[in-house]
Amino acid sequence: MDNAIEARGLVKTYRGDVRALDGVSLAAETGSVFGLLGPNGAGKSTAVKILTTLSRPDAGEAFVAGHDVLRHPARVRLAIGCVAQKSGLDLQATGRENLLLQGRVYGMRGGVLRSRAQELIERFGLSDAADRVVKGYSGGMQRKLDVAVGLMHRPQVLFLDEPTTGLDPEARVDMWSEIARLAGDEGLTILMTTHYLEEADSLARRLAIVDRGKVVAEGTPDELKGELRGDAIVVELEEQVLDGEVRRALDTVPELYDVAVEARTLRARADSGARSVPAVLAALEAEGVRVASVTVSRPSLDDVYLQYAGRAFSEADQEAKRP
């Protein structure tokens, strides 16, 4: 089986005519990390709920580990592990007790059960804390235990919903290393939702960028970034300026395209960023637009998102948080 996860035309509408998914299709290769990248509210968690049989789509179909999620949900549940965005651990139990309980739910017993729990305790560096109550664990330790619990029954497919949200930078890097090792060493298929651009860029073999319930781009990180020619120019302005005023100032700058202004940030692309920056600064100065800083970089996933969604990733993320 080439693809461990396939979804075709998934649609999900909630009360109030809120369309969380609007025809989402994706495919994750067996033994790879597939990233579902998008801001908060893009529909990532809704897609995971459908793929893990926790919700039914209004339209479309999906298959996980070769099983139809609508016709054979029990088979899907046996084949998957799921680490939700919010921890499902029993905080009053020890780490070992959480693992043993999960194993029993899946029918594991005796020495096999205890051996698997100990294996995961050692693998995730939890030996010193295994017999302590989980309530006293750090955030990073709890997240490691979350993943260990999801792996207890040796699933074929592991779903990680925002696995590093709330972790400090050191714990996040540790989690990245473990996710990469799970896919690389054990051939586990992992679907990971994230709104961290660098996380998707670093871990995913392929990814789908989701915005407002639709997949706006899909491919490898390098393929998606390679579709954008030239360099990205980002100019931070000293004060907010009208979009039209900035665009008029830049009309005279050659080889400049994809100009966009959001609050005090000007974004544009140029075949040669280093050559275009002096002309950009001179044009802005001539119009009285004061510049705080300017950077030039090769295309990033943020540039890809801007290209396909028509707005910067950070703007979309903030938009989703507004009431």
Q: What is the distance in angstroms between the CA of the first residue and the CA of the last residue of the chain?
A: 43
Query: What rounded mean pLDDT belongs to the chain?
Result: 90
All structural domains of the chain, each given as residue ranges with its CATH number in brackets, are 3-220 (3.40.50.300), 229-298 (3.30.70.980)
DSSP-derived secondary structure for 128-188: TTTTSBGGGS-HHHHHHHHHHHHHTT--SEEEEESTTTT--HHHHHHHHHHHHHHHHHH--
Predicted pLDDT at 50: 97
**Residue 313 CB: number of other CB atoms within 10 A?**
23
Query: Mean pLDDT over residues 155-161, rounded?
Result: 95
Quick: pLDDT tens for 279-309.
Answer: 999 999 988 889 999 999 888 887 788 777 7
Q: What is the pLDDT of residues 201-239, one digit of tens each?
A: 889 999 999 999 999 999 999 888 888 778 889 999 998
Express each pLDDT in 80-113 by its tens digit: 999 998 888 999 999 999 999 999 999 999 999 9
pTM: predicted TM-score of the whole model, two decimal places: 0.80
pLDDT of residue 160: 94
pLDDT of 185 = 74
